A = this chain, B = another copy of it.
Amino acid sequence: MSDTKIRNMEEFSAISGLSRPTVSKYFHDPESVRASTRAKIEEALERYDYRPNIFAMNQNRKLTKNVGIVVPLLSDPYFAEIARNLEQRCLDAGYRPTLFSAHGDPELEVEVLNTLRSMKPAGVLLAPLGRASQTRELKKFCDDIPTLIFDSSVDELGLAFVGSDNMQFTTHISDYLCRTGEPPCFFEMKTPANPNAHRRRQSYLNAMESFGHTPQVISIAGEGWSFEEIGRTGGHEALKSKQFGTNTILCSNDRLAIGLLTACYEQGVVVGRHPEAAIRIAGQDGHPHSRYTCPPLTTISHDYDAVSKHAAEALFAAIEGHVEPWKSTRLEGKLILRDSA
């Protein structure tokens, strides 16, 4: 590795014995130049560590290789995990991913979208916050930039939607709970931050009806994304005022369940499916942490890998020109049986 600094592509093409346009072509697509030429460049690349100036590169290119990944809340390990998965797929496909989080704030989400706009991304993978108020901004964004919506769907925006089949989630786990004990009541936030919650409640109601059971929904107060705390506080209240009509509680999501488990612990309520337990608690999401609660949480898990694979591939296909009509793909979850229910 020589340490003479290469200032630009002009200099680099000189030392590799080629012309600048050829080298430029190489960086755009290594396969587009002759093998012997490619060898020359890659040899020079070994000796000098030159990298094209990305700012100059992206300035004129109609299509950059940038891909934006936007999640509503990165501190939620569920989104962190799926973002990591997507990021890796972008890298493997030769794109340059950039990660953004709205941190639960709709205004920040709009800010992120604007930042993204100025990066001229080839495409964006977006898990929207799902506030109705932002749909207009969102629509404008999707009109300008190839955007694939994942996790939670908003109208028929973007190229396509890929996410989990929330209906199937709730139906499946409700079925399991009904078959193995008392039919569940449903524990949720009155004003959920995530729109998937509505589908889950509805599926719960449908499932209970089809089983011939009376549904009971406990909707607790609380705003924002601190689901565990909301679940804990709401759980305390519900326990104290004996709102749970059955010994089985299906939570709208795992984070709420985690908070409820804490509330149960704090009130000395024993949770589990063994005979001495007072109640059963189940969640939904397959949250990375659900394995480590006490008792470990029975839940129905997103197929993280399949969701991100579908999402990434659909976006890349669209970027590369394979036009397809808008489509919604909803993947099934897998029941994970643990000790809590």
Interface residues of chain A, those whose CB is within 8 Å of chain B, are 51, 53-56, 58-59, 74-75, 77, 80-81, 83-84, 87-88, 96, 98-101, 103, 114-115, 117-120, 228-229, 232, 258-259, 261-262, 265-266, 288-289, 291-296
Contacts and interface: CB of A to CB of B under 8 A. Distances in A.
Main secondary structure of the interface of A (DSSP, over half): helix
Contact of A118 (B51, B77, B229, B293): B51
Given A228-B292, A262-B292, A84 B75 contact: yes
Given A74-B74, A99-B101, 17 more contacts: A51-B118, A75-B288, A77-B80, A87-B103, A88-B103, A99-B99, A99-B100, A228-B289, A228-B292, A232-B292, A261-B292, A262-B291, A262-B294, A262-B296, A265-B296, A289-B289, A293-B293
A51 B111 CA distance: 13
Contacts of A88: 103
B294 A294 contact: yes
Given A75-B288, A84-B103, A294-B293, A53 B261 contact: no
Contacts of A83: 74
A80 B74 contact: yes
Contacts of A101: 84, 87, 99
Contact of A258 (B56, B77, B262, B292): B292
Contact of A294 (B55, B74, B99, B265): B265
Nearest to A120: B55
A49 to B, nearest CB: 9
A46 to B, nearest CB: 15
Contacts of A114: 51
A259 B292 contact: yes
Contact of A291 (B54, B75, B228): B228
A114 B118 CA distance: 22
Nearest to A82: B75
Nearest to A52: B118
A98 B117 CA distance: 15
Contacts of A87: 101, 103
A235 B51 CA distance: 48
B294 A53 contact: no
17 contacts: A51-B118, A53-B118, A54-B55, A55-B56, A56-B59, A74-B84, A74-B99, A75-B77, A77-B80, A87-B101, A98-B98, A99-B101, A262-B293, A262-B296, A265-B295, A265-B296, A289-B289
Contacts of A228: 289, 291-292
